[in-house]
Structure 1
């Protein structure tokens, strides 16, 4: 995993002023999500899975070598997975958060993504792939300060990050994340589909060749 660091020079009032509280970073914080996932294959088959994910900030690492005079902090996130409430959690993966230059950066599978830019300002755009080699991918924040309901919970102040929202006759790419103040990520949607284009008869009919639909909803959170 790449080594990443975050400035640790925030005051007690700074999170509210800048929007840092859209993703609270403190050891012991955890989030449990319900996941629904549909996968489509070229052979015409499809599968639907439901499971749960738990993400926990399990520790921090400081390193003054980052060039920040106050030192840097990497927040380690351990992810666990299970099918339902009756099963034990099983280790799934490890990722990390850091804040650098007013950006929330998450490292997943050795690739870094800019999830949020502070302060959180409606309609602001940035390159989510600024710290990886995947090519420019413009994110845009919308609906800041708007309530959002997930499962049986309503969160009064949220921000929706549209990572992509494109649809054509032959494909659909819709990716978004919703963050709530003092909570973090509450909803994530990923729809990446390739539609049939092999014959004129199927073009424009939204006939799925292959792809994925994935919906992640916050079930509970705490410390």
Structure 2
């Protein structure tokens, strides 16, 4: 006599399968899920042109330019039993200078979160699937004050220097502009490439005397711009 399966059986087995694969995005995940905005492939590299402006009230602004290279290492299992990848970072002052080791960070994909560990702290950089007005707390995993992020321009083209990327997403941090400070942060991710542009501003205005309050006179601060120069797989 043939065995008949009830609808409940199919629901239970489907749910069990979801539990098995739910801890990590599956290999070859659907294109619509957007995991390829945050690719983690061993040997993949990105080189950025970086410009920094540092400000101090008692001296002229100092501008520095350099290049940063980031290479994805082999997969490993972290202390929480999750698959992660080391990010080997190198720096040089000019295109002709030799690369010097800078730092080692890491990254991983857990459920619908792209997590990047920078200097021992976890930051949720992206959420999946990406869509306009999607919001999340980028600091939820590190215990710091909430960092409210919003995703915009999902699937839109974006140009960085002489490179046109057909599909990108833009992550905006909450802009904070007051009489005493200005904070702004933007990150743009492209399919199959990852981060292609980033801009961060943290400026603090003079409040030491009535003559400078409210005049946007910079006491100290920094502005940084990362623009992708080249990328590929070694």
> Per-residue CA shift, 1:165-188, capped at 9, x if unaligned?
121122100011110111100001
Q: Is residue 31 of structure 1 aligned with residue 46 of structure 2?
A: yes
Q: Tell me, yes or no, if the aligned pair for 1:196 and 1:209 is still in contact at 8 Å.
A: yes
- 1:130 pairs with 137, 140, 160, which one? 140
> Per-residue CA shift, 1:131-160, capped at 9, x if unaligned?
112111111111111111111111111111
d(CA) in 2 for partners of 1:158, 1:9: 20
Q: Is residue 109 of structure 1 aligned with residue 119 of structure 2?
A: yes
Between 22-31 and 41-50, report the one with greater CA deviation: 41-50
Give ranges in structure 1 of 5+ residues lacking alignment: 1-5, 67-71
- 1:215 pairs with 207, 225, 233, which one? 225
d(CA) in 2 for partners of 1:65, 1:211: 36
Q: Tell me, yes or no, if the aligned pair for 2:113 and 2:128 is still in contact at 8 Å.
A: yes
TM-score, structure 2 normalization: 0.85
SS in 1 for 2:130: coil
Q: Tell me, yes or no, if the aligned pair for 1:21 and 1:184 is still in contact at 8 Å.
A: yes
d(CA) in 2 for partners of 1:33, 1:95: 16
Q: Is residue 75 of structure 1 aligned with residue 85 of structure 2?
A: yes
Greater than 4 Å deviation, 4+ residue runs: 6-9
> Per-residue CA shift, 1:49-105, capped at 9, x if unaligned?
100000000211036973xxxxx3111100000011111110000001111121000
Q: Is residue 166 of structure 1 aligned with residue 176 of structure 2?
A: yes
Higher Rg of the two aligned structures: 2
Q: Tell me, yes or no, if the aligned pair for 1:7 and 1:73 is still in contact at 8 Å.
A: no
Give ranges in structure 2 of 5+ residues lacking alignment: 1-21
C-alpha root-mean-square deviation of aligned residues, in Å?
A: 1.8
The match for 2:76 is: 61
Give the number of equivalent residue pairs: 212
The match for 2:26 is: 10
